[in-house]
């Protein structure tokens, strides 16, 4: 599993007690290269596999997923709730990258303290482990603990959406996600009861 690398410019963030960190992992019943194709290679098209992002695209001259690629993710129709993000430490060899935030329109996070590592581990037998490790600081800082639960739920839902998108090729939206989640949870219950 990849450990989150902290650059010198971000080293102060780790020492700041108001910077919080969490990790979410999920076994996805698809090979690592297929999961990587969604989270790593389709970086600019995250809206196809994320239930809360209604639109996403590459920005600032980025044309594909690679070191330094930038994207914008819109969470509402008016484009007032958005994140501008940049891909760093891009490594198809280790199936991982770090996602930094440069602007956070109407999100209560401080961009300079907010980043996440995506890592895909091949588990064999056509399965992989997708891990998301995030560090962040909210503004105001006291909201950090409250935000952690929301962020974790958001990422868990994203993982469910990725699995569905891989299984069907269907775009995941706010509208269809509730039914998708219900179907995947049912499938998981059936497989564990056997």
| Under 8 Å between Cβ of 7 and 101 | no
Residue 11 inside a domain? The answer is: no
Terminal C-alpha separation, the chain: 30
Residue 194 inside a domain? The answer is: no
Tally of domains within the chain: 1
Instruction: Return the exposure string of 104-123: e unless at least 16 CB atoms fall within 10 Å of the residue's CB, then b.
Output: beebebbbebbbbbbbbbee
Question: Which pLDDT tens digit goes with each residue over 132-156?
Answer: 999 999 999 889 989 999 999 999 9
Q: Phi, psi at residue 105, to the nearest 5°?
A: -65, 115
| Under 8 Å between Cβ of 62 and 85 | no
Q: Residue 127 pairs with which residues in a beta bridge?
A: 124
Q: Which of 37, 40, 50, 32 is nearest to 129 (CA)?
A: 32
Residue 126 inside a domain? The answer is: yes
Prediction pTM value: 0.87
Mapped onto helix, strand or coil, the DSSP state of residue 159 is helix
Is the bond into 140 cis (omega within 30 degrees of 0)?
yes
Q: What is the DSSP letter of 148?
A: H
Q: Which residue numbers in the chain have pLDDT < 50?
A: 1-14
Residue 30 inside a domain? The answer is: yes
- CATH of residue 172's domain is 3.30.530.20
Residue 56 inside a domain? The answer is: yes
Residue 32 inside a domain? The answer is: yes
Contacts of 134 (CB under 8 A, 6+ apart): 21, 22, 23, 114, 115, 116, 117, 151, 155
Residue 12 inside a domain? The answer is: no
Query: What pLDDT is recorded for position 191?
Result: 80
Radius of gyration of the chain (CA): 16
Q: Residue 122 pairs with which residues in a beta bridge?
A: 128
**Residue span of the structural domain in which 79 resides:** 20-176
| Under 8 Å between Cβ of 18 and 141 | yes
Element (H, E) at 26: strand 20-28
Residue 119 inside a domain? The answer is: yes
């Amino acid at each position: 599993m990849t450990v989150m690398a902290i650059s010198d410019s971000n080293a102060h963030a780790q020492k700041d007690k108001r910077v919080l960190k969490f990790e979410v992992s999920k076994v996805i019943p698809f090979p690592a290269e297929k999961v990587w194709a969604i989270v790593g290679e389709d970086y600019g098209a995250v809206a196809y596999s994320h239930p809360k992002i209604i639109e996403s695209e590459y920005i600032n001259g980025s044309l594909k997923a690679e070191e330094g690629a930038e994207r914008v993710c819109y969470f509402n129709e008016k484009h007032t709730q958005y994140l501008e993000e940049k891909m760093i430490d891009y490594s198809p060899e280790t199936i991982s990258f770090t996602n930094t935030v440069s602007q956070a329109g109407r999100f209560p996070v401080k961009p300079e303290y907010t980043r996440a590592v995506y890592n895909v581990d091949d588990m064999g037998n056509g399965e992989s482990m997708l891990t998301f490790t995030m560090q962040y600081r909210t503004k105001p800082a006291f909201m950090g603990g409250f935000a952690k639960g929301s962020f974790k739920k958001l990422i868990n839902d994203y993982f469910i959406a990725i699995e569905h998108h891989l299984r069907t090729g269907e775009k995941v939206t706010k509208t269809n996600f509730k039914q998708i989640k219900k179907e995947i949870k049912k499938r998981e219950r059936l497989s564990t009861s056997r």
